[in-house]
Amino acid sequence: MRKKLFAVVAVLVIALTVVVPAGAITGGQPDGDMHPYSELILVPEVGFCSGTLISPTVVLTAGHCTDFFSDPEFDITQVYITFDSEASVNLDTWAITGGTWYTATTWYTHPDYDADAWPYTADYGVVILDQAVTNITPAALPEPYILDEILGTTGQTDQRFMDVGYGQSGVNIGGGPPRGNFEFIRKYSIQRYNPSNGAVGTQYPLWLILQDAPSANKGAGCGGDSGSGIFPEGEDTVVAVHVGGYRLGFQGQLCGRITSLNMRLDLPVVLDWLANFID
């Protein structure tokens, strides 16, 4: 059980050569209502991921999240979704204590997802809500190949991106081994402009690699969350799904990463699959 839970809520380490899945927002700033279509996907007392509403009934997340939900070892038959900017969850047990929640009993993982090949795989999933969301406008999906236009052939750009999700906000130190601090507050981290050379397509065509700015102010990727949406700053179009990060960072306390690994949404292999679920 520990191994499977790790894939969803534990620290993600990605070295781009030897890799293990996870992902999250740490540090950063409270998002409030800036991205109201971003949500927490919770299996009470078990684990959680983040996601993005892309239609009134469809939540986009990471494939290793929906793959985990489908693992017969855990017999998960229902997940819970909230769009509250501060989720009402017991910080010790991860049980729901209040707030507004939706349920889902159906989810799908991209047919090309292969857990054994991660991260060289189509790490996409969708959760189908039992009841439509009528008071939140879904995020827009990107036009085909829009990231090629934004980043060009070198991956160098002044465009900044925002990673929006729930998850680990730092590390508690003292009184025993360091422990992840979970507040279940929707936050955004700022992905530094001028991402590294080869940010798209050089090592694997579905990857979007961005540079984090691992500081308490800007935030970075961390353990405790996967599936959060990546948005060009100031836009409501989700262009990628966050699936992991690389290298522990800021002052030994925040789980900041230097690199954020994301999966592109602007490719036909992804957009055509998502179209199957959107009315």
pLDDT tops 90 at residue 175 = no
Dist CA 276 CA 279 (whole Å) = 8
94 Cβ contact list (under 8 Å, min separation 6): 42, 44, 45, 46, 47, 48, 182
Q: What is the pTM of this model?
A: 0.85
Handedness of CA 48, 28, 10, 244 (dihedral sign): positive
**6-61, pLDDT tens digit by residue?**
334 332 322 222 223 333 445 568 899 999 999 999 999 898 999 999 999 999 99
pLDDT tops 90 at residue 5 = no
Higher per-residue pLDDT: 115 or 213: 115
First to last CA, the chain: 36
Average pLDDT for the chain = 80
What pLDDT does residue 217 have? 53
Percent of the chain exceeding pLDDT 70 equals 69
What pLDDT does residue 220 have? 52
**227-276, pLDDT tens digit by residue?**
999 999 999 999 999 987 544 443 443 344 566 788 999 999 999 999 99
Domains defined for the chain, CATH in brackets = 25-275 (2.40.10.10)
pLDDT tops 80 at residue 90 = yes
pLDDT band at 172 (very low <50, low <70, confident <90, very high): low
What pLDDT does residue 246 have? 46
Rg from Cα positions in the chain: 17
What pLDDT does residue 216 have? 53
pLDDT tops 80 at residue 225 = no
What pLDDT does residue 22 have? 38
Q: How many Cβ atoms are within 10 Å of 173's Cβ, its own excluded?
A: 12
What pLDDT does residue 92 have? 86
> Can you say whether residue 23 is alpha, beta or left, with left for phi > 0 and alpha for psi between -120 and 50 degrees?
left
Higher per-residue pLDDT: 158 or 16: 158
Residue 113 · residue 55 · CB < 8 Å: no
